[in-house]
Amino acid sequence: MNAWIIAVGSELLTPFRVDTNSLLITDRLNAIGFKVSQKSVVGDDADSLATLLTRALASVDLVVCTGGLGPTADDVTRDAVSRALGVPLDLDAEILAGIEARFVRRGMVMSAINRRQALVPYGAVVLENVNGTAPGLWLEPTLSVQGRLVLLPGPPREMTPMLEALVRERLAPLTGGGGLFRRVLKITGRSESDVDAVAQPIYGPWRARPVPIETTILAVFGQVELHLTAAAGSRADAHEALDAAVGELVAGLGPSVYSVDGRTLEAVVGDLLRASGATVAAAESCTGGLVMSRLTDVPGSSDYVEGGVVCYSNRSKTEWVGVPDALIAEHGAVSEPVARAMAEGVRHRAGSTIGIGVTGIAGPGGGTPDKPVGTVCIAVLMHDDVRVRTVRLIGNREQVKYQSAQAALNLLRLMLLKCL
Amino acid sequence: MNAWIIAVGSELLTPFRVDTNSLLITDRLNAIGFKVSQKSVVGDDADSLATLLTRALASVDLVVCTGGLGPTADDVTRDAVSRALGVPLDLDAEILAGIEARFVRRGMVMSAINRRQALVPYGAVVLENVNGTAPGLWLEPTLSVQGRLVLLPGPPREMTPMLEALVRERLAPLTGGGGLFRRVLKITGRSESDVDAVAQPIYGPWRARPVPIETTILAVFGQVELHLTAAAGSRADAHEALDAAVGELVAGLGPSVYSVDGRTLEAVVGDLLRASGATVAAAESCTGGLVMSRLTDVPGSSDYVEGGVVCYSNRSKTEWVGVPDALIAEHGAVSEPVARAMAEGVRHRAGSTIGIGVTGIAGPGGGTPDKPVGTVCIAVLMHDDVRVRTVRLIGNREQVKYQSAQAALNLLRLMLLKCL
């Protein structure tokens, strides 16, 4: 079954606020088998909302509308519903009494404008609001309106318990327990088009399987994500299908898949470090401490992070991790020999089992024809094994920093996995 | 003039992602007098998008559509536009050559699927993408289509420069200059309610001024923002009113306002460091390199960042910045004397003019009744002046790290400003 979520409120059309209610609503609807096919945001304007409601109700099974149920003239949802459905608004004496009682309990007198909140479109079922004055409203399909419509207040504290009750009591019985179940694969070290060239032939046929799986590919800086969504009649069927699907993708994409369970790259590396009993130290130039900062974002990272050095200047490379002046003079600060010397020096000084060295040009200045902005040399030293890589990254300064840290953590991961 | 913003992507209909591109687009459109009347999110489905585009183009002056321009089969925006407008897609040889050249520059071979990105709806003007392969597209109104349509790629890094160029070259000339103009004040070291108690009496009367100004307060971790929006017939009137308004707020809130021009705290600190000819080094424990990483996010920071040390273990505190074992034994690693010794040690070793020491408990483990999670000691040493602070922060591990870095940078800022 399909759903359309509408958020009402002019403040949601400014540069300052996004509609986040729809994320929770999507989660709850997906879990019982509704797919969200569209989301809309409209201002406090009854005409636009009425037009939108009419269209949405004609095209999906369920419309969830949040906001615009307050007492002020800005709150137009009730009026818009009345117009869209062609039904009158009636004053509900019970709601009115409830709102008045709520004011009395708080030692206040109800304003006349609060009477608006007791207006109910003809045929609507009232949903109790335990945390506020605006009741929710539920409208079943009619001869002329195909979709179900639910109206919820905008404040999350009021909306959430009403949504939970609605899902449990009215929506779950419509779908019979099946739903959408998800997995996310995170991949690094490959481009989006490269990942898709491998993955598409694998996931392409999944839509036609008994438990159909939809796949979305998403590129963000330094990584690619594959989002798998299975539509199944039961949780067990979904998990079986998803386990098989994840297995096929991992077999195809190999160790470039670093996470199938939501973990970040730094958490994956942390778990590998802990499992191997290793400790790590990093000497960072262009990443400016980001490798260490990401490693230490993980709770418990003090078990395997020894420390590190940000050696931004040549002096600090020499002073803290003993990179010879002559090496810098001969090869330049951004070079594989210097990255390697940084990894060796920091491991020695920190007394760790693993050393990382990162040196590069984050930009926007500092590039040369030989070594343009985005040139980054990475060395990882583990036991007797040392791997050195030079990567060419694109993006602004922060993006080059992030991708450099990603490449360094990934090189460490592949070495810990003995995949290099 | 009215605009409708459409974000395309099935991932934006999951519980995991919200469309944030529309915030920036709204800001830029508002600045030249466009009002955003509706926003929509649709999945990677050509039928739904074509239907939506048809409706939107019939009801507003401008439709801005982001996403779905990538090379994969998921990317349906070009097809949907072709259907909605009833025009064919043609292969653009110039775009294709540009994409191929981009791959060659990166030492890669273009996949066949990238040819899709060179397909252009008949009549469209191509907008250059300086940061990616997907070109943007601009379609003027026709006899049968009332609205203008612009297609932009989804990744913010690609979308943003194309939006700026579009606004400057094609949209601003349509509206003639009036619009909404904005300023943002960034404040740190005070709570939201404390800021509002001072600010509300100042900004309250602004709505009734000849150039009315609306103020929104927004609390994020480690800082509070005041967003000022002036509605004016000319840029000059708006800037005059906003300059006066910002002046009133700064006078009321004092040096806790660190930015009135969009600069980040690290950029503000960087400018003060450069102006004073100082250089800085940091010894970080609980922040794990985040202070250095933020300082080095600023282009040109190599002028004043000497380097730093992440001394996560006690051993590294002693080895790298010479914190005496006895001091740690007497006061604990999280203590003001240790923070001060870290600042002194790192300044000495780095040969910088300023030293920063940060030591604390980021959590979730490691807290004690005396020193609960979130306890962080910060020392800044500048010339003969040393300031040491202990703060108690709330939030998860990453939030404690961020707020600790914020507090350290802010202490340095106030010392550089001689406000302490």
Q: What is the pLDDT of residues B382-410, one digit of tens each?
A: 988 999 999 999 888 999 999 999 999 99
Of B37, B74, B282, the CB nearest to A216: B74
d(CA B67, CA B155): 8
The mean pLDDT value for A79-97 works out to 93
Average pLDDT, chain B: 93
**Which residues of chain A lie closer than 8 angstroms to B20, CB-CB?**
18
pLDDT of the residue at A80: 97
Q: What are phi and psi of B357, to 5 degrees?
A: -125, 130
Q: What is the pLDDT of residues B18-74, one digit of tens each?
A: 999 999 999 999 988 899 999 999 999 999 999 999 999 999 999 999 999 988 888
Q: Which of A215-224, B85-94, B254-263 has the lowest mean pLDDT?
A: A215-224
pLDDT of the residue at B116: 86
Token pair belonging to B420: 């302490």
- Edge-first strand order for the sheet with B257-259 is B213-220, B223-232, B179-187, B257-259
Mutate: best of A12, A296, A298, partner B, most B CBs <10 A: A296
Token pair belonging to B35: 């009002």
E-strand stretches of A330-416: 354-360, 375-382, 385-392
Task: Say how far residue B243 (Cα) sits from the centre of its chain.
Answer: 23
Does the beta-carbon distance from B15 to A30 stay under 8 Å? yes
Token pair belonging to B358: 């940060």
**Which residues of chain A lie closer than 8 angstroms to B313, CB-CB?**
302, 305-307
Q: Which of A75-84, A98-107, A332-341, B324-333 has the lowest mean pLDDT?
A: A98-107
Inter-residue contact B77 to B150 (CB < 8 Å): no
Does the beta-carbon distance from B319 to A39 stay under 8 Å? no
d(CA A134, CA A153): 7
d(CA A354, CA B190): 42
Inter-residue contact B214 to B229 (CB < 8 Å): yes
Buried b (16+ CB within 10 A) or exposed e, A93-129: eebbebbbeeeeeeeeebeeebebbbbbbeebeebeb
Token pair 């797919």: residue: A35
Mutate: best of B11, B39, B279, B298, partner A, most A CBs <10 A: B39
The mean pLDDT value for A99-109 works out to 83
Does the beta-carbon distance from B113 to A316 stay under 8 Å? no
More confident residue, B16 or B356: B356
Q: Where are the alpha helices (DSSP H) in B177-263?
A: 192-203, 235-253
d(CA B21, CA B156): 7
Task: With cut-offs at 50, 70 and 90, classify the pLDDT of residue A177.
Answer: low
The mean pLDDT value for A394-402 works out to 92
pLDDT of the residue at A244: 97
Token pair belonging to B14: 């999951």
Does the beta-carbon distance from B401 to A350 stay under 8 Å? no
Average pLDDT, chain A: 93
Does the beta-carbon distance from B113 to A193 stay under 8 Å? yes
Residues contacting B144, CB < 8 A, separation 6+: B86
d(CA A290, CA A284): 8
Q: What are phi and psi of A59, to 5 degrees?
A: -120, -10
d(CA A31, CA B91): 42
Does the beta-carbon distance from A217 to B72 stay under 8 Å? yes
Q: What are phi and psi of A221, to 5 degrees?
A: -60, 125
Residue B218 has pLDDT above 80, yes or no: no
Of A40, A45, A306, the CB nearest to B40: A40
d(CA A295, CA A271): 11
Count CB pairs under 8 A between chains A and B.
Answer: 254
Inter-residue contact B308 to B291 (CB < 8 Å): yes
Token pair 């000022």: residue: B228
Does the beta-carbon distance from B157 to A396 stay under 8 Å? yes
CA distances (Å), origin B27, targets A14, B167, B419 = 7, 11, 34
d(CA B39, CA A42): 7
Going by the DSSP 8-state scheme, the letter that residue B167 receives in this structure is I
Token pair 């963000």: residue: A220
Inter-residue contact A163 to A28 (CB < 8 Å): yes
d(CA B301, CA A300): 31
Torsion, CA B313, CA B316, CA B318, CA B321, rounded to 10: -130
Torsion, CA A17, CA A22, CA A23, CA A24, rounded to 10: 120
Q: What is the pLDDT of residues A286-299, one digit of tens each?
A: 999 999 999 999 99
Q: For residue B25, what is the nearest residue in chain A, using CA coordinates?
A: A15
Inter-residue contact A138 to A147 (CB < 8 Å): no
Token pair 């993980």: residue: A298
Evaluated on CA atoms B52, B57, B60, B64, the torsion sign reads: positive
Q: Where are the alpha helices (DSSP H) in A60-171?
A: 77-85, 93-105, 156-166
d(CA B408, CA B378): 6
pLDDT of the residue at A106: 78
Partners of B149 in beta bridges = B63, B139
Going by the DSSP 8-state scheme, the letter that residue A141 receives in this structure is -
CA distances (Å), origin A280, targets A30, A304, A380, B45, B201 = 42, 6, 10, 46, 53
d(CA B41, CA B9): 7
Closest CA to B16 of A26, A263, A188: A26
Task: With cut-offs at 50, 70 and 90, classify the pLDDT of residue B121.
Answer: very high
d(CA A161, CA A158): 7
d(CA A309, CA A343): 10
Q: What is the pLDDT of residues B165-208, one digit of tens each?
A: 999 999 998 887 678 888 999 999 988 888 988 999 999 999 89
More confident residue, B218 or A281: A281
Of B13, B74, B366, the CB nearest to A217: B74
Inter-residue contact A359 to A314 (CB < 8 Å): no
Give percent above pLDDT 70 in chain B.
100
Task: With cut-offs at 50, 70 and 90, classify the pLDDT of residue A34.
Answer: very high
CA distances (Å), origin B279, targets A110, A366, B55 = 62, 19, 58
DSSP-based three-state secondary structure for B125: strand
pLDDT of the residue at B177: 66
Token pair belonging to B124: 């469209």
Question: C-alpha angle with apex A136: A134 to A137, nearest 5 degrees?
Answer: 130
Token pair belonging to B172: 């601003």
pLDDT of the residue at B4: 98
**Burial label, A274 (beta-carbon count in 10 A; 0-12, 13-18, 19+):** middle
Residue A281 has pLDDT above 80, yes or no: yes
Does the beta-carbon distance from B296 to A305 stay under 8 Å? no
Q: Where are the alpha helices (DSSP H) in A38-76?
A: 46-59
The mean pLDDT value for A69-78 works out to 87
Q: What is the pLDDT of residues B83-114, one digit of tens each?
A: 999 999 999 999 899 888 888 887 888 888 88
Residue A410 has pLDDT above 80, yes or no: yes
Of A48, A288, A292, the CB nearest to B296: A288
pLDDT of the residue at B15: 86
Going by the DSSP 8-state scheme, the letter that residue B124 receives in this structure is P
Inter-residue contact B186 to B249 (CB < 8 Å): no
More confident residue, A237 or B216: A237
Task: Specify the pTM.
Answer: 0.79
Does the beta-carbon distance from A350 to B316 stay under 8 Å? yes
Closest CA to A311 of A281, A342, A280: A342
Token pair 């899902």: residue: A167
Inter-residue contact A323 to A340 (CB < 8 Å): no
Q: What are phi and psi of B355, to 5 degrees?
A: -125, 140
